[in-house]
Amino acid sequence: MSFARLSLSLAAVVGLIATAMAGATIWLLVTQPVTVADAVATGEVSPVMRALAGALYEALAGIVKYF
């Protein structure tokens, strides 16, 4: 596999991960605004990360359910 092809594949994977994280973050802002507001006010990011991981897990579980 050539370097150009490998770098393109790596860029695609990074782009997909970034898109999934951005979508989950927007979903979190819409569905749990109090958690996000508390995290911004206190500077504590662990509740947001926990909720974000839960949202991504539920989305992946829903996708896997169809296969």
Residue range 27-55, pLDDT digits in tens: 888 988 998 888 888 988 888 888 888 88
Under DSSP, the state recorded for 43 is -
Name the pTM for this structure: 0.66
Question: Domain coordinates of the chain in residue numbers?
Answer: 21-67
Show the DSSP H helices in the chain as ranges. Answer: 3-31, 33-42, 46-65
Instruction: Report yes or no: 54 and 35 within 8 Å, Cβ to Cβ.
Output: no
The token pair that represents 19 in the structure block? 């898109």
E-assigned strands of 12-56?
A: none
